[in-house]
Amino acid sequence: MFTSTTQIRIHYALTDQMGVVYHGRYAEFFEIGRSEAIRNLGFTYKDIEAMGVVMAVVEMNIRYLRPIRYDDLITVKTSLPHLPADHKIVFHSEIYNEEDQLLSKGTVTLYFLEAKSMKKINMPTPLVNLLEGYY
């Protein structure tokens, strides 16, 4: 299974008046995790868009277990339990604090789309080639 981790320092803009990170901002942590996961494969999401392909989010599920606070250094662990067989890809994400406590977990489902037509297409071959060794 392909797995990747990246770290994010929480800046003030992400907090709300409850003194914690606003729940809507977690989508960005997962996004950064996915981007860095693809970069770790030797590819970038920018390369994917340059191929005329976009990845559109179709579903997101998040569980908030412990609050994330200002100046926390969080670790986002992104994994891909299954190698996509078609246009659909499901990333699993977990967020940990510096004490290795699980703060949040979630899944994000995306479709590969041809940018021009916005029609579903299979995962691009270069990505398949980079990923299939992990499964």
Residues interacting with its own copies, by CB under 8 A? Answer: 9, 11-13, 15-20, 22-28, 31-32, 35, 44-46, 54, 56-64, 67, 70-71
Neighbours of 132 (CB within 10 A): 10
Residue closer to its own copies (CB basis): 73 or 128: 73
Residue closer to its own copies (CB basis): 23 or 83: 23
Q: How far is the CB of 83 from its own copies (least distance, A)?
A: 23
Residue closer to its own copies (CB basis): 1 or 46: 46
CA–CA dist 107, 64 (Å, integer)? 12
Q: How far is the CB of 36 from its own copies (least distance, A)?
A: 8
Q: Are 68 and 74 in contact (CB under 8 A)?
A: yes
CA–CA dist 62, 56 (Å, integer)? 17
Q: Are 120 and 111 in contact (CB under 8 A)?
A: yes
**Residue 16 annotated as catalytic:** yes
Q: How far is the CB of 135 from its own copies (least distance, A)?
A: 26
- Residue closest to 53 by CA, chosen among 130, 132, 125: 125
Write out the catalytic residue numbers: 16
